[in-house]
Structure formats: structure tokens, C-alpha cells
Amino acid sequence: MLIGILQTGDVPEALAPRYGEYVPMFEAWLRPAGPGLSYRAYAAHNCDIPASPAECDAWLITGSKHGVYDDLPWIEPLKAFLRAARAAGRPIVGICFGHQILAEALGGRAAKSGKGWGAGVHDYQVVHRPGWMAGAPDSFAIHAMHQDQVTAIPEDATVLAASPFCEFAMLAYGDPEAPDAISIQPHPEFDEDYARALVEMRSGFAIPVECGEAALASFGRAVNQQDFARWCIDFLRAATARRNAA
């Protein structure tokens, strides 16, 4: 399976020498759950939008410092591409900004949240457990880093996980047992070192000091990043098999 990674942002310049860029980060996160998968990167935030959804078997949209409401030349073309990919039966996974822009592209809405920043380890309750999430715990923890949130979901979206801070934390689009796309607000691709470095860099600057202190205190707990990787791979493989059998 060839997964196209639609990169919508860059690792902060001060952190890139130590932690690398987002595309290798995603590859390293998915590799234990999906050995043998291959990847192709597209710098969507530099207007490198694929010419056709058929260029890859599946698509993944990364996080970004940008908002889906920003007046940038690649935002609307990316939304149009995501709609085309869904129509072509190419499964999609959205992460953080990818979660937000996928929801907007398919009929929902995302905006800056009045709840402020979500940073550090956050807990999410599983509210719907489709078959491809078999064995999922009643709740899971993942590193978060966001101020924007999905505020309204598409008509055919199902909420899979939520928290008091983030009502629409994880979504499936279409039949939740056989969805066309899935997305999640937190960052399963972040390991603790990188998540901590982001908080330390942004605390007192982009993130209020109190929020940064709470985020730093949350680290050290186990997170379910590999559980979500397994759910993603199981979803992608099942969706690709359905398309190939059609």
C-alpha cells in the first residue's frame, strides 16, 4: 500500500535539527503497525497538491500551524482534493489540522476554540467502537497541541471519541463500520520528547504559562499512539480491499 502524506506544516526551525520533519515522524509512527507500507510526500502547504487521488492508495493529512480559515492559496485546492479522493474511494486519515480541514471539506466546520489551548497528554472517551477498533479501551490518551477545533461535523460523520475539552475528537465519515475517512484532533505521531519540547518552546509565548505548566505536568504517562496507528492501518487496509474488490 502506498500512502500519500499531505504535509501542511513544518516542524519549528529550532526543533527540526533534533527531531526531524513531519513526514519521517509519521512514517516512524506507522511503521510498527504497518511494516512494508510505502510513502510518498507532498508539500501541500507549498501548493504541491496531487494531480489525481489515484497517485496513491490512501492519503494522510498532517498537522499545521495554520488554521483552515486562513486565506492561503493551498487551502481550498486541498479541500477540493480531499473531496475528490473520497469520491474516488481512496481512504483518508486526518491528524489535527488534517482532522479540521477534512471535516470542513466534507461539510463540517472548524474554528479557533474559546476553550483555549489543548496541550500535553489528554484523555478521550470512546463513544462508538466500530469493528476496526476492536479491543479499543473505554478511554485512551494521546499528546495534544491545538487551539482550533472542529465545531460542527458533516451530516454523515460519526463521533468515535470525545472529551470535555474536545467534543469532536475523533470522527469516522460514512458508515462507521466501513468508513471512507477517519480523523483525530490530537497528535498520535508525537513522542513525548517532541511534545515536551513544543510545550517548552511555546509556553509563555503562544501558550499561556498556566496551560504550559499543566501540560508539562501531564507528561510521563503512557499514551495510546500505537493503538491509534493500528486502528489507522486496519481501517486503511479494509478500505483498500473493499475498493479493489468493487
Reported as a single tens digit per residue, the pLDDT across 229-242 is 999 999 999 999 99
Pairing of strands 109-112, 139-146: unpaired
* Residues recognised as catalytic: 96, 187, 189
Q: Is 193 exposed, middle or buried (0-12, 13-18, 19+ CB in 10 A)?
A: exposed
Q: What is the pLDDT of residue 25?
A: 97
pLDDT (tens digit per residue) in 16-44: 999 999 999 999 999 999 999 999 999 99
Q: Is residue 195 part of a domain?
A: no
Q: Is residue 140 part of a domain?
A: no
Q: What is the pLDDT of residue 30?
A: 98
Q: What is the pLDDT of residue 203?
A: 92
Q: Is residue 87 part of a domain?
A: yes
pLDDT (tens digit per residue) in 92-112: 999 999 999 999 999 999 999
For residue 152, what are the β-bridge partners?
A: 109
Q: Is residue 91 part of a domain?
A: yes
Q: Is residue 71 part of a domain?
A: yes
Angle at 216 between CA 219 and CA 124, to 5 degrees: 55
Q: What is the pLDDT of residue 164?
A: 97
Distances in Å between the Cα of 87 and the Cα atoms of 14, 55, 69 are 39, 14, 24
Residue type at 152? A
Beta-sheet strands, E only, within the chain: 2-7, 38-43, 58-61, 92-95, 109-112, 118-126, 139-146, 148-152, 157-162, 170-173, 181-184
Q: Is 72 helix (H, G, I), strand (E, B) or coil?
A: coil
User: How many angstroms separate the CA atoms of 181 and 174, rounded?
Assistant: 8
Q: What is the pLDDT of residue 183?
A: 98
Q: Is residue 122 part of a domain?
A: no
Q: Is 241 exposed, middle or buried (0-12, 13-18, 19+ CB in 10 A)?
A: exposed
Number of domains in the chain: 1
Contacts with 39 (C-beta within 8 Å, 6 or more apart), sequence order: 2, 3, 4, 5, 23, 26, 27
**DSSP single-letter state for residue 140:** E
Contact 144, 121 (CB under 8 A): yes
Percent of the chain with pLDDT over 90: 98
Q: How many beta carbons lie within 10 A of that of residue 152, not counting itself?
A: 15
**Phi-psi bin for 20: left (phi > 0), alpha (psi -120 to 50), beta?**
left
Q: At what angle do helices 192-202 and 209-218 cross, to 10 degrees?
A: 160
Q: Is residue 150 part of a domain?
A: yes
Give the three cell numbers for residue 21. Answer: 520533519
What is the domain range of residue 19? 2-112+145-189+225-245
Average per-residue pLDDT for the chain: 97
Nearest 10 degrees: Cα torsion 210, 141, 106, 241: 160
* CATH code of the domain containing 51: 3.40.50.880
Q: Is 155 helix (H, G, I), strand (E, B) or coil?
A: coil
Q: Nearest CA to 132 among 166, 91, 76, 99?
A: 91
pLDDT (tens digit per residue) in 197-222: 999 999 998 999 999 999 999 999 99
Q: What is the pLDDT of residue 124?
A: 98
246 has a pLDDT exceeding 90: no
Q: Is residue 138 part of a domain?
A: no
Confidence bin at 83 (pLDDT 50/70/90):
very high
pLDDT (tens digit per residue) in 67-80: 999 999 999 999 99
